[in-house]
Structure formats: structure tokens, C-alpha cells
Chain A
Amino acid sequence: MQAVKWAFEDFVEGASIDLGARHVTAREIIEFASEFDPQPMHLDEAAGKASILGGLSASGWHTCAMFMRLLCDGILLDSTSQGAPGIDYARWKKPVLAGDDLTATVRVLATRISRSRPSLGLVTMHSEMQNQHGESVFEVENTIMFLSREAGAGA
């Protein structure tokens, strides 16, 4: 197997990792909401403007999914990731609106080797997405499992 960029050893406590950017389109907001969260403010510009969210806004679950894609492209698809058991918390801090340009950053909070399985490491991350105005719109904290570089190379 070709060596991947991100194994457990590559995550250093305190480090920040840039995950790149994503443009949010009205079409995508409506497409996601039609399937999973068909509330008026996620489906229609006028209804969004009339709502507390102030415009056609992405479902919070869509925001999670968009963050996940940035995390995949920025780290997971070129890593020894073994998945994540869950999310400590996620906050939908401000509406994500059609036309927004989101950027995501991960900060490594803690790393530790699994007691039961020394070839596996646990990386706790605090991640954030900002919009084009520099406002923090989404925050999430969770722990992802990564194989060590040696175990990953043998996988």
C-alpha cells in the first residue's frame, strides 16, 4: 500500500490543519433539504428571508455533511482513519446561507494511544467553519481513530 499522508503520529497536539474551502449553492441547499430536512427556510429564498435565519439557509445536518466532505478531502481520504465513534458536540452558531464561502480548520486538542490496541491512536479534534465575513458558523469536537504509521503500512 502506498504511504498515506496522515497517520496517528502526524497529529501533534496544538497543531492547526487547514481543510480548504467550499462554496455553498442554493441548489445544493434545496437538494439536501428536499430529501432530509424539508422546512421552508431550507427550501425557499423568500421563506428563508422571512425566518429568524434571514435567508435561504442550509439545514444544520447539511452543514455537518459539508464539513465532513472538507474533512475527508483535507485529511481522511489520505489517512489511516478507522472511523469515529461519535461527536462530543456540534454547534450551529450562525446560519449558513446560499452563496456563502466556507473555510474549515481543525485544531488537534489531544492524542493518545489506545490502551487495548497499541497500533491504534485516538485524535481529539476541535474544528470550525467560518464564512466569507470571518464569522464562525459551525464548531464541532470529536475523536477519530487512526492507525499508527507502521500498522497503516501493513494494512
Chain B
Amino acid sequence: MTLDEFFAVGKTVELGSHTFDAKAIKAFARKYDPQPFHVDEQVAAGSVFKKLCASGWHTTAVWMKLNIATDMAASDTDWDGPGPRPVFGPSPGLRNLKWLKPVYAGETVSYRRTVLSHRALSKRPGWCILSIRGEASDSTGDKVLEFDSGVMVQVA
């Protein structure tokens, strides 16, 4: 098995869906993003968004929740390539994060992940970095979220 096969490079994986109810939207926002349109229906009605909607950091955090619940190793057969089974490590960051459309209270959002590529880390022998695209769409099929992220993987 190659690393490409193990990571299923290029294959989009459905991570499942999540419904954002008003109570959870407000609970997250009160802690981390208490802008009026995330914590109060009345104020949200008069805001740029017109209705209560989830913090962008809430919709991305739920991507991580569903991502963790779906094994990064794509194959159902176990690793039989050269060397030890790759071990997933931390992420150095993200880029090109776009909140394309508000996620309103009551909306159900479907999440996806695609491993775009992997490359060896010259400064860290034995490690590579996976480039990953995260995406999410609402119940009408409109994309609400996309970003590119990285994950470090120990491969030797």
C-alpha cells in the first residue's frame, strides 16, 4: 500500500451532518463570539445577517468534531506499506478559510474532507505534511464553508 492509497489522496470523504439549533449557536457565541447577531434573535433581525446565525468559528469547530469522528486513514484494510503505520500529529494552521454564506438557526450542514496531497518535511526527517481541504454545504446545497489545512504525519 502506498501513502497515496493510505490517505486516499483526491477522494472526498463525507463526514456527516450537524444541525445548528439556536440554543447551541448562542451558547458557543456567548463564550467565544458574542456579537449581537450570534446571541440575540431580536438584534440579529436588525443586523447585516437579518437572522440569528452561527459564529464562523462554531461552524468550523463542528467540521473538526466530524473530522475527528471519521478516521483519517482512508482504507479499511490496515497499513502494509514500508515502515511503521503512519501516525497523525498536530496541524500547523489553515489558509483560505471562507465563510461563504451564513448558517442560520435550524440549518443542517453537511461536512466533507479531501486530502489534496502529501509531501515530506525536509526540516523534520520521518514526517510528512498532508494538505487537506475542508468544506461544508447547507440544506439547499450551497457551500457555506471552505478552507485548506495541514496535518503533520509521522511516516518513519
Is A36 within 8 A of B89, CB to CB? Answer: no
A60 to B149, CA, bound (A): 11
Of B48, B61, B98, the contact of A83 (CB 8 Å cutoff): B48
Of A38, A69, A83, A85, the contact of B32 (CB 8 Å cutoff): A69
Is A84 within 8 A of B56, CB to CB? Answer: yes
From A13-21, A88-96, A102-110, A128-136, the one touching the partner chain is A88-96
A119 to B37, CA, bound (A): 20
**A12 at interface, CB cutoff 8 A:** no
Residues from chain A with Cβ under 8 Å of B99 in the complex: 84-86
Residues from chain B with Cβ under 8 Å of A62 in the complex: 61
Chain B min CB distance to A69 (Å): 5
Of A64, A77, A82, the contact of B48 (CB 8 Å cutoff): A82
Chain A min CB distance to B73 (Å): 15
Interface residues of B in 28-79 (CB under 8 A from A): 31-35, 37, 48-49, 55-57, 60-62, 64-65, 68
Chain B min CB distance to A30 (Å): 14
**B94 at interface, CB cutoff 8 A:** yes
Residues from chain A with Cβ under 8 Å of B68 in the complex: 37-39
**A24 at interface, CB cutoff 8 A:** no
Is A89 within 8 A of B33, CB to CB? Answer: no
Is B31 within 8 A of A89, CB to CB? Answer: no
A93 to B98, CA, bound (A): 21
**A3 at interface, CB cutoff 8 A:** no
Interface residues on chain B, number (Cβ under 8 Å): 30
Q: Considering only CB atoms, which chain B residue lies closest to A59 in the complex?
A: B64
Chain A min CB distance to B112 (Å): 17
A88 to B33, CA, bound (A): 19
Interface residues of B in 85-105 (CB under 8 A from A): 89-100
Residues from chain A with Cβ under 8 Å of B65 in the complex: 35-37
Of A76, A87, A91, the contact of B97 (CB 8 Å cutoff): A87
Is B90 within 8 A of A92, CB to CB? Answer: yes
A93 to B92, CA, bound (A): 7
A89 to B60, CA, bound (A): 14
Residues from chain B with Cβ under 8 Å of A92 in the complex: 90-93
Enumerate 28 A-B pairs (CB-CB under 8 Å) in ascending A order: A36-B64, A37-B64, A37-B65, A37-B68, A59-B64, A61-B60, A61-B61, A61-B64, A64-B57, A65-B31, A65-B57, A66-B32, A68-B55, A76-B35, A77-B35, A83-B35, A83-B37, A84-B56, A85-B99, A85-B100, A86-B56, A86-B97, A88-B95, A89-B93, A89-B96, A90-B94, A92-B90, A92-B92
- B: residues with CB less than 8 A from A are 31-35, 37, 48-49, 55-57, 60-62, 64-65, 68, 89-100, 147
A-B pairs, top 5 by smallest CB distance, nearest first, are A91-B93, A65-B32, A87-B97, A86-B98, A89-B95
- A: residues with CB less than 8 A from B are 32, 35-39, 52-53, 59-62, 64-66, 68-69, 72, 76-77, 81-93, 95
